[in-house]
Amino acid sequence: MTAVVPDAELSIETRGLSKRFGHQLAVDGVNLAVPRGSVFGFLGPNGSGKTTTIRLMLGLAAATGGSVRLLGQEMPRHLHEVLPRVGALVEGPAFYPFLSGKANLLRFDAADPYGAASTRKARVQTELERVGLSHAADKKVRAYSLGMKQRLGIANALLAPRELLVLDEPTNGLDPQGTREVRSLVRSLAADGATVFVSSHLLAEVEQICTHAAIMSAGRLVAQGTLEELRQAGQARIRVVTPDAGAAVQVLAGLGLTVNGGGGLAGARAGSVLPGNGATREGEVLFAPLPGADSGDGVEPETVVAALVAAGVRVRGFATEQASLEERFVALTGEGFDVVQ
């Protein structure tokens, strides 16, 4: 779907990555290509294999087959060389509940053989401020909310400079303000040159912060590329606003413009399926797929408008629309996103 990126320009590369648990193939031949400097969304329904793939990438689990390269180094052979350059938050943070947030970070940093003791306190304070926890630095972690623990986990992942940051559901449990703070943090890390790999099932987060994405379904990688490439891979549609919906439907059907069971986001929200043709109507708004010229059944938008006008249909609005990322996801996986308001 996307142009081939040279190996030297990839922060993460997997080839045929697989993981089997007994008779279950949890990860099935995944070929990921994550460009350096990107904010890469790793998407899929819960249970699609996202977290298992991340664990394989980081050497937290052994692969059944395939290979992984992080920052140009083969894993897990070069695990000890690569991991100091990688920050990760996987399957939620785990801290000592009877220690404060600051004390936890100091303890974790002291266990890092690459962390300089002379700057430890300053680095811990900087990261607490960065994730908005300086006011709760001396509070025991057992009194932290889930969102605060999540932010503390991100702070822990950032205690040392990182070329690659891997975040598994980083906004889990966050309130809207915390979500905005994490979103801003991810953008700042990318602006500083880091690659940020974000696993999520939340559409809003991916569309607001990511430059690239990959979609998992039932353990398999079904699509990857830039967000624009993923959208363009879906079928375009037309949107017609008219008070003459019945007549317009007949014209669209005559042009072969039909859809099976719905017309995308607007139709899914409050639409109804008109009998006999499949075009979706929401009040005076009609949607229908628009086959491309390369399909052999291509219909130009101008042809549609001319046919509507010739039939006496009053056209109050007309537009062509590309499939949204959500529609592409549903088409590939058969499932929808959880949406954050």
pLDDT in tens, 191-203: 888 999 999 877 7
Enumerate residues 6+ apart whose C-beta is below 8 A from 204.
339, 340
Enumerate residues 6+ apart whose C-beta is below 8 A from 190.
37, 38, 39, 196, 211
Of 245, 250, 234, residue with least CA distance to 289 = 234
What is the rounded CA–CA span in Å between residue 286 and residue 282?
7
Please give the CATH number for the structural domain made up of 235-321. Answer: 3.30.70
In the chain, where are the structural domains located?
A: 7-231, 235-321
Q: Which residues is 29 bridged to in the sheet?
A: none
> What amino acid is encoded at 291 in this protein?
P
What is the rounded CA–CA span in Å between residue 310 and residue 255?
13
Pairwise pLDDT comparison (4 vs 100), residue with the higher score: 100
Collapsing DSSP states into helix, strand and coil, what is residue 254? helix
User: What's the pLDDT score for residue 269?
Assistant: 32
What is the rounded CA–CA span in Å between residue 259 and residue 238?
11
Q: Exposure string (b/e) for 182-205, b if CB count within 10 Å is 16 or more? A: bbebbeebbeeebbbbbbbbbbbb
* Percent of the chain whose predicted confidence (pLDDT) is above 90: 40
What is the rounded CA–CA span in Å between residue 57 and residue 53?
6
What is the rounded CA–CA span in Å between residue 298 and residue 292?
5
pLDDT in tens, 6-45: 566 899 999 999 999 998 999 999 999 999 999 999 988 8
Q: Count of CB atoms within 10 A of residue 261's CB?
A: 9
Report residue 211: phi and psi, to 5°: -100, -30
Fold type of domain 7-231: Rossmann fold (3.40.50)
